Structure 1
Amino acid sequence: MHRASDLQSRLDIALDIARVAGEVALRHFNSALSITLKDDASPVTIADQETEREIRNRLQSVFPQDGIYGEEYGGEGLERDTVWVIDPIDGTRSFIAGVPLFGLLMAMMRGGEAQIGICRLPALDQVYAAARGCGATLNGRRISASGQTELSRAMLFINEGEKIYASHPRVFDRLLSAGGLRRLSYDCQPHALVAAGQVDAVVDCGLKPYDYLPMVAIVQEAGGVITDWTGAALDFGSDGRVVTAATPELHAALLELLG
């Protein structure tokens, strides 16, 4: 067990780091950017790199004993009990296109479990945050999942739909007829919207640990459920297929659909 006061203190520090780093990202938003492609053909910009460096430098200054794992510069100290997981700009394609739904993600893992989560949307001036046992917030206000239990009435977001279609075409077809209202979506915001009670469920695919681990504490502390497609807890070794739901009942219905 980890004292709530310790986690809240660490969350407050991490929120300040996320605020400063988000300003770094915003300075590059809607500007001409040089784009480089990684080995997996995903884009990276100087904004991604500068923002991650800002986060890493500040974390190392305040928590030198902790490990860090980030999208742009990899991991160090991953064998340590406490590891920070960071995605400086989740949704780089959105960022490049001038779409304001990109996010800055941070998680604190301790003993392999997510204890802190931050999802900051700098262009919207929104920050979703949670520390284990302390609840989830949006800009400091407590939030909770919707409580929707019925898939037939749920607002369902299908995230990264082309990835789901390419790897699981039959699942994609079933998703298109599921729920009361469906939307195709991208990036981290849909999972945060489940925590805020504005969306009932999200099905996602092709994610990396720095994409999904920051959302775990936020969703769970808001009363929601977030797992892989088999219902297993998310960790560093998960396969990147993620389902987020407002309630256990809705989550179970989605697992049946995904099976």
Structure 2
Amino acid sequence: MTDTLDKALAAARDAAGAAADIILHYWRNGVDVITKGDDTPVTVADRESELAIREILSRALPEAGIYGEEYGADDTSREWLWLVDPLDGTKSFVRRTPFFATEIALMHRGELVLGVSSAPVYGERMWAVKGRGAYLDGEQVHVADTAALSQAVISTGNVKTLTTDARWGVLGELIRESNRIRGYGDFCHYHLLARGGVDLVIESDVNILDIAALAVIVREAGGVFTQLDGGPIGLESRGVLAGTPAIHAAALARLHGATMA
């Protein structure tokens, strides 16, 4: 398995680099926007970069299935499964906001074991393999040691669903008791969490392709990355609670109390 993961990491980093070249080309030169059936935007940058990623990953690990944002899944039942969002943050991309990234993760028998998150305009590339730590451009990173909520920096992303139930009030409590609240969103607050700049991330409206690579990175940096109810991240996950061990535990206890009330 070690050899497979070595090969997979090299391929994922190469694929992220190929996607970055394509994305940066369209970032500099402009691109038309198409609205998909679910009212979300897509561009040729999304589609061309996913094709480039698929070609590299398929060549390196032909036994693995690929589940991608733009071209769907060829087979999610294989022992190895790539999870690919070629341009997570397309809405930011089309609004000329540099908070978007390429997310590439690898699952082995349902467990996330590898992640690469590449933000070419923002200037960061992070990666992690289970048991090997998390890295930012080659330098190992760790979450902060923040243990008190009064010292915590909280970042929120997509939280529309959270506004509809008792957890919204809990989020308000957490914000009032925290040191600082931010809304970095997309890949950005997970990168910050993994390298010690943020202590808790809360999102209620994501999909597995958005977060799979980031889950591996945060965990390997020493953080905790679960669903909002504390459950494990899987293909059907739609929400995230991620943080330093102590702050994640404190937030989870509050959220659990709200759902049980």
Give the TM-score range, shorter chain.
over 0.9
Q: Name 2:183's counterpart in structure 1.
A: 184
Contact 1:48 1:88 in 2 (8 A): yes
Contact 2:155 2:200 in 1 (8 A): yes
CA distance in 2, matches of 1:229, 1:161: 11
Describe the SS at the equivalent of 1:177. Answer: helix
Q: Name 2:232's counterpart in structure 1.
A: 233
Describe the SS at the equivalent of 2:38. Answer: coil
How many percent identity over aligned positions?
32
- Corresponding residue to 1:255 among 246, 252, 257: 252
Q: 1:199 Cα shift?
A: 0.9
Q: Name 1:110's counterpart in structure 2.
A: 108
TM-score by length of 2: 0.92
Unaligned runs of 5+ in 2: 257-261
Contact 1:161 1:172 in 2 (8 A): no
In structure 2, give the amino acid aligned to 1:45.
T
CA distance in 2, matches of 1:177, 1:30: 41
Question: Which has the larger displacement, 146-155 or 173-182?
Answer: 173-182
Q: Name 1:208's counterpart in structure 2.
A: 207
Encode CA deviations 1:197-249: one digit per residue, 9 max, x unaligned: 111110012111101111121011100000001111101122x11011012x2
Unaligned runs of 5+ in 1: none
In the alignment, does 2:60 pair up with 1:62? yes
CA distance in 2, matches of 1:20, 1:70: 16
In structure 1, give the amino acid aligned to 2:77.
E
Alignment of 1:1-259 (within 5 A): 2-3=1-2, 5-165=3-163, 169-238=168-237, 240-247=238-245, 249-259=246-256
| Structure 1 stretches of 4+ moved >6 Å | none
Distance 1:94 1:130, change over 3 A: same
TM-score by length of 1: 0.93
Encode CA deviations 1:82-113: one digit per residue, 9 max, x unaligned: 00000011111111111112110000000100
Encode CA deviations 1:137-159: one digit per residue, 9 max, x unaligned: 00010000101111221011011
Encode CA deviations 1:34-63: one digit per residue, 9 max, x unaligned: 212222211111111111111011111222
CA distance in 2, matches of 1:152, 1:8: 41
CA distance in 2, matches of 1:40, 1:178: 37
Q: 1:171 Cα shift?
A: 4.1
CA distance in 1, matches of 2:7, 2:58: 16
Distance 1:256 1:23, change over 3 A: same
Describe the SS at the equivalent of 1:58. Answer: helix
CA distance in 2, matches of 1:49, 1:72: 6
Encode CA deviations 1:161-188: one digit per residue, 9 max, x unaligned: 4453356543443344242110123211
In structure 2, give the amino acid aligned to 1:194.
L
CA distance in 1, matches of 2:15, 2:225: 26
CA distance in 2, matches of 1:118, 1:96: 23
Describe the SS at the equivalent of 1:256. Answer: helix
CA distance in 1, matches of 2:179, 2:254: 15
Contact 1:30 1:96 in 2 (8 A): no
